[in-house]
């Protein structure tokens, strides 16, 4: 008996030690859901990748892709002067597109800081522009009622203490010996301290910050992860400075309780609601209009209006958010193609946003009819059917009979008659469980028409 108690005690203390080790902070699932509630509700945000790389206009990774040295990259620093920068205009565009929050790069991998930092000269204050871009941005976006978020790159190709390894812009080392030689005078401990100081700056000097995006980890040989970043300490600091903040999952702390808030599938569509340990988790896909995050003049693979709308609708239909990126030019403006894309989305959102805000995956009992995507608003108990390929007059909803009180188009609130009979033929394959909607032959003047179904209680 004594032995058993002893074993139990040892077991319990090992458990406590383990759980202490793997925890950033204490929060129940309900508390977390409440903290994230505004973000989950809003569904749609703008990502902004802006830095010195807007000048070469050949991808935000240009320094690495073209193996550009610090000396050669310096000209972009010396010339940075976005004379047309007007963040109020940006905020209005984001809002008109239906976006509810925005996340901007305060520092990207190139190491250049868009904010006024005490800890480096490599910031916007020392460029010809000479003003704190982030301060102006925060004020403008807040004034328009948008949530604000900061992206901060963990990677830094400019800092002299950031050790050279995988994914650095300096790519001259192959062997361990060569890496060691390159890193002789570099000290990650000093870089960690630098990051902590800068994260403190961005989370202290601009009032309440709603979202933090730390980017990114690649653990393993010559890589960087939780050890190199000091992720645990860094995130504890973040939580202390801004307890309400929502943080992404790129600190390499996936197995820590409180080590992340949402997952971030990038540039691909998830096939179902992402899970961790068998649980559905909050998620946001980040996507570009074309092939790069930073402004890329000669890149032409722009997604069209319908593709972008489908991205948004599909994300919501699987319980997720969309963070859609704009890479402003070095003058401080949005490219005409970005403007066109935002306008197209705004036109649709103006009438159809009720199928996005506050919506989520439909209950399992409802199956999406052919060529459609479903979203669902739990409080209103309404189902939204997005018609990707506009059907003919008779639109068959399999298994929906008796479940719907009223049907209408969302964009103009015009009634859609409901019936059982499918077409004029007697034996047309319909059965008693199916519902038939009588749609107009002419497709409504909407890129993706939405049917709003008021469900029976």
Q: Does 60 bind ligand GLC (CB under 6 A)?
A: yes
Q: Rounded to the nearest whole angstrom, what is the least distance from the CB of residue 109 to ligand GLC in the complex?
A: 6
> Among 46, 97, 99, 286, which residue sits at the site for ligand GLC (rule: CB under 6 A)?
286
117 close to 198: Cβ distance less than 8 angstroms: yes
Long-range contacts of 381-384 (CB under 8 A, 24+ apart): 381/454, 381/455, 381/457, 382/452, 382/453, 382/454, 382/455, 383/452, 383/453, 383/455, 384/354, 384/355, 384/359, 384/410, 384/450, 384/451, 384/452, 384/453
Residue number, 288 or 430, with CB nearest to ligand GLC: 288
**Residues 183-242 contacting ligand GLC, CB under 6 A:** 215-216
Q: Rounded to the nearest whole angstrom, what is the least distance from the CB of residue 60 to ligand GLC in the complex?
A: 5
Q: Does 347 bind ligand GLC (CB under 6 A)?
A: no
Closest residue by Cα to residue 302 from 256, 335, 265, 280 = 335
Q: Rounded to the nearest whole angstrom, what is the least distance from the CB of residue 299 to ligand GLC in the complex?
A: 14
> Among 179, 293, 376, 384, which residue sits at the site for ligand GLC (rule: CB under 6 A)?
293
Residue number, 50 or 366, with CB nearest to ligand GLC: 50
Q: Which two tokens stand for residue 218?
A: 């690649």
Q: Does 335 bind ligand GLC (CB under 6 A)?
A: no
Q: Rounded to the nearest whole angstrom, what is the least distance from the CB of residue 61 to ligand GLC in the complex?
A: 6
| Region of residue 43 (phi > 0: left; psi between -120 and 50: alpha; otherwise: beta) | left
Q: Rounded to the nearest whole angstrom, what is the least distance from the CB of residue 59 to ligand GLC in the complex?
A: 8
Residue number, 103 or 245, with CB nearest to ligand GLC: 103
Q: Which two tokens stand for residue 91?
A: 């905020």
Residue number, 285 or 372, with CB nearest to ligand GLC: 285
Q: Does 156 bind ligand GLC (CB under 6 A)?
A: no
Q: What is the DSSP letter of 166?
A: T
Residue number, 142 or 254, with CB nearest to ligand GLC: 254
Distance, in Å, from the CA atom of 125 to the CA atom of 173, rounded to the nearest integer, reads 34
DSSP E strand stretches across 350-449: 372-377, 382-387, 394-397, 404-409, 417-419, 435-438
Q: Does 266 bind ligand GLC (CB under 6 A)?
A: yes
Q: Rounded to the nearest whole angstrom, what is the least distance from the CB of residue 216 to ligand GLC in the complex?
A: 5
**Residues 30-49 contacting ligand GLC, CB under 6 A:** 49
Residue number, 60 or 335, with CB nearest to ligand GLC: 60
Residue number, 215 or 452, with CB nearest to ligand GLC: 215
From the number of C-beta atoms within 10 Å of its C-beta (0-12, 13-18, 19+), residue 10 rates as: exposed
Closest residue by Cα to residue 258 from 17, 22, 12 = 22
Q: Rounded to the nearest whole angstrom, what is the least distance from the CB of residue 253 to ligand GLC in the complex?
A: 16
Residue number, 294 or 332, with CB nearest to ligand GLC: 294
Render 172-225 in DSSP notation, one character per residue. Answer: ---SHHHHHHHTTT--HHHHHHHHHHHHHHHTTTTS---EEEEE--B-STT-B-
**Residues 61-80 contacting ligand GLC, CB under 6 A:** 61
Q: Where are the alpha helices (DSSP H) in 101-160?
A: 133-143
From the number of C-beta atoms within 10 Å of its C-beta (0-12, 13-18, 19+), residue 300 rates as: exposed
x-or-dash pattern for ligand GLC, window 367-406, by CB under 6 A?
Answer: ----------------------------------------
Task: Give the interface with ligand GLC as residue ranges (CB under 6 A).
Answer: 49, 60-61, 215-216, 266, 286, 293
């Amino acid at each position: 008996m004594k032995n058993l108690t002893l074993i139990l005690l040892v077991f319990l203390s090992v458990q406590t030690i383990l759980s202490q080790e793997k925890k950033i902070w204490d929060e129940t699932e309900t508390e977390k859901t409440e903290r994230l509630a505004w973000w989950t509700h809003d569904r749609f945000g703008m990502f902004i990748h802006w830095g010195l790389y807007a000048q070469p206009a050949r991808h935000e990774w240009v320094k690495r892709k073209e193996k550009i040295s610090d000396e050669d990259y310096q000209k972009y620093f010396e010339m940075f002067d976005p004379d047309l920068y007007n963040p109020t205009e940006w905020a209005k565009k984001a809002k008109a597109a239906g976006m509810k929050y925005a996340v901007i790069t305060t520092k990207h991998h190139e190491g250049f800081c868009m904010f006024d930092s005490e800890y480096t000269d490599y910031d916007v204050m020392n460029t010809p522009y000479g003003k704190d871009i982030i301060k102006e941005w925060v004020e403008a976006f807040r004034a328009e009622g948008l949530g604000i978020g900061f992206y901060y790159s963990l990677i830094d190709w400019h800092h002299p203490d950031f050790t050279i390894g995988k994914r650095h812009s300096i790519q001259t080392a192959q062997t361990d010996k060569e890496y060691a030689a390159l890193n002789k005078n570099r000290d990650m401990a000093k870089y960690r301290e630098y990051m902590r100081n800068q994260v403190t700056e961005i989370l202290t000097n601009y009032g309440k910050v709603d979202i933090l995006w730390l980017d990114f980890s690649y653990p393993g040989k010559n890589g960087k992860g939780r050890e190199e970043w000091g992720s645990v300490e860094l995130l504890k600091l973040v939580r202390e400075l801004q307890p309400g903040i929502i943080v992404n999952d790129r600190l390499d702390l996936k197995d820590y309780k409180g080590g992340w808030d949402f997952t971030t599938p990038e540039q691909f569509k998830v096939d179902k609601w992402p899970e961790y340990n068998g649980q559905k988790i909050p998620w946001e896909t980040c996507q570009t209009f074309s092939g790069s995050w930073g402004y890329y003049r000669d890149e032409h693979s722009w997604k069209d209006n319908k593709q972008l709308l489908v991205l948004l609708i599909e994300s919501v239909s699987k319980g997720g958010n969309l963070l859609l990126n704009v890479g402003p030019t070095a003058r401080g403006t949005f490219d005409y193609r970005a403007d066109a894309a935002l306008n197209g989305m705004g036109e649709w959102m103006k009438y159809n946003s009720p199928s996005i805000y506050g919506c989520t995956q439909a209950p399992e009992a409802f199956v999406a009819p052919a060529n459609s995507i479903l979203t669902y608003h739990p409080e209103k108990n309404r189902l939204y059917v997005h018609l990707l390929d506009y059907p003919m007059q008779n639109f068959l909803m399999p298994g929906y009979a008796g479940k719907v009180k009223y049907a209408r188009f969302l964009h103009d609130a015009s009634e859609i008659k409901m019936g059982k009979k499918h077409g004029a033929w007697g034996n047309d394959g319909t059965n008693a469980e199916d519902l038939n909607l009588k749609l107009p032959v002419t497709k409504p003047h909407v890129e993706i028409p939405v049917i709003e179904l008021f469900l029976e209680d």
